[in-house]
Amino acid sequence: MSTSAKPIANTRSATGIPTARLITWWVIASEIVIFGGLLATYVMHRIGHPEWADSASHTLTWAGAFNTFVLLTSSLCAVLAHKAADARDGPRAAKLLRVTSLGGLIFLSVKAYEWTIDIREGFVLSSGGFWSFYYALAGLHALHVLAGMIILLIVAADAAKNRELQRVECIGLYWHFVDIVWIFLFPLLYIAR
């Protein structure tokens, strides 16, 4: 990261919440309405189209469940990184953030494998109602996982040198949010019938 000085504006805190964490919460708030909008749209359709249950039964529940486990575990690593950063142990925080990012990689790899199977069975984005939503929802989520992975590594690089440790908590918050979205996607796409 660059070493340019921060403006005083960045260091003040009239609310008592450090600026970095404050902006993270605002980002999460904006993401709630984005995912919420797409999820609400899916729910409207799913309830109105009970016949989609047949398509929905073809999703690979074991892949979804394993991925849920992966994200939960990576969230654990992220919050342990936060704890390490609080103790000003930058190298340990960096290591944990990198494991978190690895969790994201595993998640995306399993998803790639899962989608390969789905596509081979003929279920693609344009396969109709359920599948269009499935790929749109999981795809948007996967994009956020990918972005998170990259930012995790960037923050880890700084943290390893004991720099910008406040960012460890912030990227953790984002990652937990991505985890929560998946916590709801999993039953919606894999369990509910």
Partner 1 sequence: MTNESHIHHPNYVKVWAALVVLLIVSLLGSMSHVRYVLLFAAFGVAAIKAYLVAKNFMHVTVEKRFVPYLLVLCLLFVVILFAGAAPDVMKHSGLHWNKDSAKQAVQSGMGAAPKHE
Partner 2 sequence: MTTQVESLAHARPGFFQKYCWSTDHKIIAMQYLFTGMAMAAIGGYFAYVFRMQLGFPNQHVPGYGLVTPGKYNALVTMHGSIMIFWVAMPILIAAFGNFLIPLMVGCDDMAFPRINRLSYQIFLLSALMLLASFLVKGGPFGGAWTAYPPLSANGAYNLTPAGATMWLIAVALEFVAFLLGGINFTVTTMNSRAPGMKMFDIPMLVWMIVLASIIFMASVGPLIAGAVMLLFDQTMATGFYDPMRGGDPLLWQHLFWFFGHPEVYVVLLPAMGIVAEVLAVFARKKLFGYKTVLYTAWAVGFLSFVVWAHHQFVAGIDPRMANIFSITTLLISVPIAEMVFLYIATLYGGSIHLDTPMLWALGFIAEFLVGGVTGIFLGASGTDIYLHDTYFVIAHFHYTFVPIAIIAVYAGLTFWYPKMFGRMLNETLGKIHFWGTVIPFNVIFIPLFITGTAGDQRRVYSYAQFAEQARPELQHLRTTSTIALIVMLAFQFVFLFNFFWSLRHGKRADANPWRSATLEWTIPSPPPHGNFAELPTVYRGPYEYGLPGHAQDFLPQNVPD
Question: Which position among 87, 112, 119, 125 is part of the footprint of partner 2 (CB under 8 A)?
Answer: 125
Beta-carbon count within 10 A of 68 CB: 18
Neighbour count for residue 49 (Cβ, 10 Å): 12
Which one of partner 1, partner 2, none is in contact with 162 (Cβ closer than 5 to 8 A by kind)? Answer: none
47 binds partner 2 (CB under 8 A): no
Residue 166 has φ and ψ, to the nearest 5°, of -65, -20
Q: Does 158 bind partner 1 (CB under 8 A)?
A: no
Question: Contact, 135 vs 127, CB < 8 A?
Answer: no
> Is residue 191 close enough to count as binding partner 2 by CB under 8 A?
no
* 133 secondary structure, DSSP code: H
Q: Is residue 161 within a helix (H) or strand (E), and if so which, with residue range?
A: none
Q: Which residue has the tokens 């019938």?
A: 193
Residue matched to tokens 């599948």 = 131
Nearer to partner 2, 17 or 65 (CB): 17
Residues in the site for partner 1, rule: CB under 8 A? 11, 15-18, 20, 25-26, 28-30, 32-33, 36-37, 39-41, 43-45, 47-52, 54, 57-58, 61, 65, 68-69, 72-73, 75-76, 78-80, 83, 85-86, 129, 164-166, 168-169, 172-173, 176-177, 179-180, 183-184, 186-188, 191-193
